[in-house]
Amino acid sequence: MVSALNLKFIFLLAWYYGFNTILRGPSYLVASLSTPLTLLFLVYILSHGAFVSYAVVGGFTALISTISLSSAGDAAFLRLQLRFQDLLVATEVGPTDYMLGLTLAYLVFSLPGIAIYAVFGAYLHLFTIINSLELTGLLVILVIATASFSFIISGLIKHVRNVWGIAGILSIVMTVLPPTSYPYTFLPNWGIWALSLSPTTPTAILAQGIFSLSPMYPIMIVILLSETVLFFVLARYLTRWREV
């Protein structure tokens, strides 16, 4: 499967929409950091620092989810306004290449925010080699799941003007309500399962377990992987790849 991918296109698209966006539009970077950092500040103030470790660990999850979900607008704009997908139909680039390229771009765009949270985590002595590697794996899975969900939303949208509001609402609902900045044990069981419809929730719960902030909840890795596969397959189906 790896050999069938157009790796050159994937990395070039990730470079253009990842690194270049950071350089050309730093205001977008600041905007993407606003919600997670605001939550971190509020948690620190309201809990008098008691839950700041949860907010830092969950900040990685909230950051990637916010960027990936809000980027549904980019995917819809490229498809509906710029007709970028239509240009790629006649080339060797496939829909999977296109999806992976933009997904990698979202991960690249998240790197400055990840670095900021890494500094906070290092200051709080949260990291070990093991939990750092496990967190990295979780974040890679999360960016695929949330980016795929964004492709699903953008694939269902008929006009680009509708996508920005929907993406904004989803990025708030799917990153603020899940336990990214508070212990998941505060939630009743039905609340955990209801919020687990968003891949942000199992990721946040697993991250808390990895960092020994809350009890490990192993079933969440099954939920996260299942949602990632399901969302990716649906996104691949809804990514219209035909000549118009």
* Highest mean pLDDT pick, 2-11, 78-87, 134-143, 144-153: 134-143
Is residue 170 a part of any domain in this protein? yes
How far is Cα 79 from Cα 240, in angstroms, rounded to an integer? 9
Token pair belonging to 15: 């470079």
pLDDT exceeds 50 at position 1: no
Which are the contacts of 77, defined by CB distance < 8 A and separation ≥ 6? 160, 163
Predicted confidence at residue 240, as pLDDT, reads 63
Number of domains into which the chain is organized: 1
Please state whether 91 falls in left (phi above 0), alpha (psi between -120 and 50) or beta: beta
Consecutive H or E run containing 85: helix 84-88
How far is Cα 73 from Cα 189, in angstroms, rounded to an integer? 33
- Under the banding of pLDDT at 50, 70 and 90, the label for residue 135 is very high
How far is Cα 185 from Cα 189, in angstroms, rounded to an integer? 9
Is residue 244 a part of any domain in this protein? no
* Highest mean pLDDT pick, 128-132, 175-179, 237-241: 128-132
Is residue 243 a part of any domain in this protein? no
- Under the banding of pLDDT at 50, 70 and 90, the label for residue 241 is low
What pTM does this model have? 0.87
- Under the banding of pLDDT at 50, 70 and 90, the label for residue 174 is confident
Kindly report, residue by residue over 175-232, the tens digit of the pLDDT: 888 999 899 999 999 999 999 999 999 999 999 999 999 999 999 999 999 999 999 9
Is residue 26 a part of any domain in this protein? yes
105: domain range? 2-238
- Under the banding of pLDDT at 50, 70 and 90, the label for residue 242 is low
